[in-house]
Structure 1
Amino acid sequence: MQEWAMEYPLIESMRDLKPVTWINPFAKKEETDRSFPLTKMDIIEAEKLWQRFAPYLAKAFPETKPLNGIIESPLREISHFKEALEKHHHETLPGTFYLKCDHELPISGSVKARGGVFEVLKHAEKLALENGMITKEDNYEKFMEPQFKQFFKQYTIGVGSTGNLALSIGTISAELGFTVDVHMSSDAKQWKKDLLRKKGVRVHEYDGDFSVAITQGREKTEEDPNGYFVDDEDSKALFLGYSVAALRLKAQLDVKQITVDEKHPLVVYLPCGVGGSPGGIAFGLKQVFGDAVHCIFVEPTHSPSVLLGMMTERHEKLCVQDFGIDNKTEADGLAVGRPSRFATEISQKLVGGAYTIEDDELYKLLTMLADREGIYVEPSAAAGLIGPLKLMQSGYVKEYGLESQLINGTHIAWSTGGALVPEEEMKVFYEKGKSLLRR
């Protein structure tokens, strides 16, 4: 462990569960291989699949009807929160601050509605096409017909999850007619398990963490000849579903007349669990905005698996427990001890850096957001809210020569979940943050 700490000085603080900020040296190397297993054309093709399924989604999930079956969230300016953050920390933060409200996404109320729903739709389309039930030129409202539900019933969808991915996979799979098995780790919230069971999903619970749930889920699903496992540790389809968010964000920024270029940088703060959703979003953003966008990952101090994987270049070969870090956090969506191999290898070449945050800070931030903006999110979704402060306190601004540009820049914290949290549970979150702020 001394050798590790000598080579990577941040490890000592990480083992002591202290918040750290890491600037990614690999993203700036000129010799960095920027070839990826996916391209911008893959993102465009993924968006076409979303469009094909839009008529079905508008019928099956009425909450998507206002956007004609498109699953998307608002982009809201949070200037009152920014003022409160500046006052609380006695700092001035240049640029404007927005919240990408993925906690409001239809179907599952979290960012996982992007990747999870996309992968299940992609699998359903593949099965329907192979069996001559549909063509890509048909109106996909046909997926509502009883014969489709009967057909999909013979197939099983499996997933391992800390909670939010399970909600998205379980909801869309059950609606299509699939038999669904969700394998959930010990940190998954009870209300999420209860909600899934109400939808007819078979929920399997494990005493261990995410790695145990996903390993068990993968093995059991693969035993079924008609089983399909949504693998959060190694899925291109999940990654692509998330990446489409970049195209949608570009359209929202255009409507608000927000420029993104070298003189008007965009900085996006992405809460990070296994790395799939922030990795996919970051990949999409880089394809759309190039070097004008800076993507920063955020993890709990107790679960810094992606930061460890990128910093050491060992990716999924290391877990936080190897370093005596317990992977126990109130940010259940981020409670992941081992990162995704596929997503982390790509992210290492793209993201500007990462920081870790303590659980108590998450509660304070979500309470400040509720008080100042009337927006309620779950703890993990608050992780990006302190991003601009962390950026200014690090050497990142100087490293990237942003000293004069940030005054014209835009910060976006990506809110990842919260809409389906029961009111009484949300009240507990809020009161805990209120208590911590009083101290």
Structure 2
Amino acid sequence: MIQDKTMEEWIQSFPKIKDLINYEETTWFNNQLVNTDEALAHASLSERDILDAEARLKRFAPYIAHVFPETIEHAGIIESPLTKLEHMPKLLNTPIDGPMFLKQDNLLAISGSIKARGGIYEVLTFAEKIALEKGMITVEDDYKKFDSNEFKSVFSKYELVCGSTGNLGLSIGIMAAKLGFKVVIHMSQDARLWKKDLLRSKGVRVIEHEDDYSKAVDQGRLDSQKQSNSYFIDDENSKTLFLGYAVAAIRLKAQLQQENIHISLDNPLNVYLPCGVGGGPGGISFGLKVIFKDAVNCYFAEPTHSPCMLLGMMTGYHDGISVQEFGLDNETAADGLAVGRPSGFVGQLLEHAVKGVYTVSDQNMFKLLTQIYDSEGIKLEPSALVGIVGPIKTKEKGVHLAWATGGNMVPDEVYQEYYDLGKSI
């Protein structure tokens, strides 16, 4: 029994569950979709919150440029390029109505993934809060002050904790360690060894768990609650993380204008976002809906072995059910998406705003990984490929945008294994 229903009752109510439990690629369109103003009418966040987050990132830009030289070119603003895919659409063997772009968060500075948006933003927000409360800085000051022994001495008395499948831990660990915080990252069994090793090289304490992502988060939360000066970054429920992701929408609008692309109801923007627990794609979708309203269609994309958001949104149970309860193993090469239970915060906030969710097999991810490298010269990790097939799954018209989650920091030998596997497929 799952939530007092038999499997037969679940399948009778939601026939697509049968495809999900057979690990078949599945597309679900949201029949609860309403116009944007109505969908977000009762949201606990607003455009003002997004603008506040953008302003905070601008305040920290001088510090970021100072301590991370790779960001100097963009004056400490961590942003990724918008790349038109010239060849890849032809390899999908299905005509696509409209141009296709890749938002290359695989090239984001510092931690090389979409998590550089939310994770780094939440660490900076916490650091600023401490500095303001202690009178060490004002919002008008030059934030390069954060790179001093005085600040590091204060921050060293605090511990930052999170649970992660890999990329969020990287972004939080690298940024927090640079500021001088103690950092503990609870990693699930899905997390890649190279990500754990990289964190440890930065002085981060990594605790490995034999269980999946949810258990790593639960343990991290419990351990953090026992310490008075410990701050837990909650990937499932953090509004701060969420706003860090949402700022991407403002940046994307400017990039589309630079490309002379006009988004409207007649020429909508269709965005395909890889989804794990939902924080990253949820925050970006929220920002996009605030900025573009009904002229943007947001889709989440998940592995066939971990369709937690599809299950949660389709049934309306959100974080009340998990893929494991339906017999799915939650084992996928897309480590950043290996999540069995979705964020209830994200699912409920966007249940009338996300247009649909679809799943992609690991086999197709590896195939696409090889194809996009051969055709476009772009290096992505498996989880970053699920957005590529969005135009085929949804058959939307307009401008298509696949959001790449990560890949640039994958070690060459690991990437070669991915590539060779895709080539054999």
Q: Classify the TM-score, shorter chain.
A: over 0.9
SS in structure 2 opposite 1:244? helix
Name the CA distance, whole Å, in 1 between partners of 2:344 and 2:70: 34
| Paired position in structure 2 for 1:428 | 417
Q: Which amino acid aligns with 2:52?
A: E
User: 1:39-438 residue pairs with structure 2 within 5 A?
Assistant: 39-85=46-92, 89=93, 91-392=94-395, 397=396, 406=397, 409-436=398-425
Deviations 1:338-385 (A, max 9, x none): 111111111212111010010000001111100000001000001101
Name the CA distance, whole Å, in 1 between partners of 2:159 and 2:31: 42
Name the CA distance, whole Å, in 1 between partners of 2:41 and 2:9: 30
SS in structure 1 opposite 2:297? strand
SS in structure 2 opposite 1:384? coil
Q: Is the 8 A contact 1:34 1:349 kept in 2?
A: no
Deviations 1:212-252 (A, max 9, x none): 10000010011110000000011000000000000000000
Name the CA distance, whole Å, in 2 between partners of 1:360 and 1:34: 40
Name the CA distance, whole Å, in 1 between partners of 2:141 and 2:393: 49
Deviation at 1:32, TM superposition (A): 5.3
| Paired position in structure 2 for 1:7 | 13
| Paired position in structure 1 for 2:29 | 23
Name the CA distance, whole Å, in 1 between partners of 2:220 and 2:417: 31
Greater shift, 363-372 or 344-353, is seen at: 344-353
Gaps of 5+ in 2: 1-6
Name the CA distance, whole Å, in 2 between partners of 1:386 and 1:264: 19
Q: Which amino acid aligns with 2:283?
A: G
Q: Is the 8 A contact 2:39 2:353 kept in 1?
A: no
Q: Which amino acid aligns with 2:241?
A: L
SS in structure 1 opposite 2:45? coil
Name the CA distance, whole Å, in 2 between partners of 1:367 and 1:95: 23
Q: Which amino acid aligns with 1:55?
A: P
Name the CA distance, whole Å, in 1 between partners of 2:171 and 2:350: 23
Q: Is the 8 A contact 2:40 2:349 kept in 1?
A: no
Q: Which amino acid aligns with 2:226?
A: E
| Paired position in structure 2 for 1:401 | none
Name the CA distance, whole Å, in 2 between partners of 1:312 and 1:44: 33
Deviation at 1:262, TM superposition (A): 1.0
Pick one of 35, 38, 43 that aligns with 2:42.
Answer: 35
Deviations 1:29-68 (A, max 9, x none): 8975632000011000000000000000001111111110
Gaps of 5+ in 1: 398-405
Q: Is the 8 A contact 1:300 1:331 kept in 2?
A: yes
Deviations 1:373-407 (A, max 9, x none): 00010000011011111112xxxx5xxxxxxxx2x
Name the CA distance, whole Å, in 2 between partners of 1:391 and 1:145: 51
SS in structure 2 opposite 1:385? coil
Name the CA distance, whole Å, in 2 between partners of 1:180 and 1:36: 32
Q: Which amino acid aligns with 1:9?
A: P
What is the RMSD computed on CA atoms of the aligned residues?
1.1
Instruction: Give the structure-1-normalised TM-score.
Output: 0.94
Greater shift, 145-154 or 341-350, is seen at: 341-350
Name the CA distance, whole Å, in 2 between partners of 1:104 and 1:344: 28
Q: Which amino acid aligns with 2:415?
A: M
Q: What is the count of residue pairs matched by the alignment?
A: 418
Name the CA distance, whole Å, in 2 between partners of 1:176 and 1:316: 34
Q: Is the 8 A contact 1:185 1:212 kept in 2?
A: yes
Name the CA distance, whole Å, in 2 between partners of 1:172 and 1:32: 34
Name the CA distance, whole Å, in 1 between partners of 2:256 and 2:122: 27
Deviations 1:173-193 (A, max 9, x none): 000000000000001000000
After TM superposition, the runs of 4+ consecutive aligned structure 1 residues lying more than 4 A away are: 29-33
Q: 1:211 to 1:7 in 2, by over 3 A?
A: same
Deviations 1:232-291 (A, max 9, x none): 011000000000000000000011100000111110000000000000000000000010
Name the CA distance, whole Å, in 2 between partners of 1:289 and 1:29: 12
Q: Is the 8 A contact 2:106 2:404 kept in 1?
A: yes
Q: Which amino acid aligns with 2:85?
A: I
Deviation at 1:323, TM superposition (A): 0.5
Deviations 1:282-339 (A, max 9, x none): 0000000010000010000100001111111111111111101110000000000011
Q: Is the 8 A contact 1:298 1:384 kept in 2?
A: yes
Name the CA distance, whole Å, in 2 between partners of 1:11 and 1:113: 33
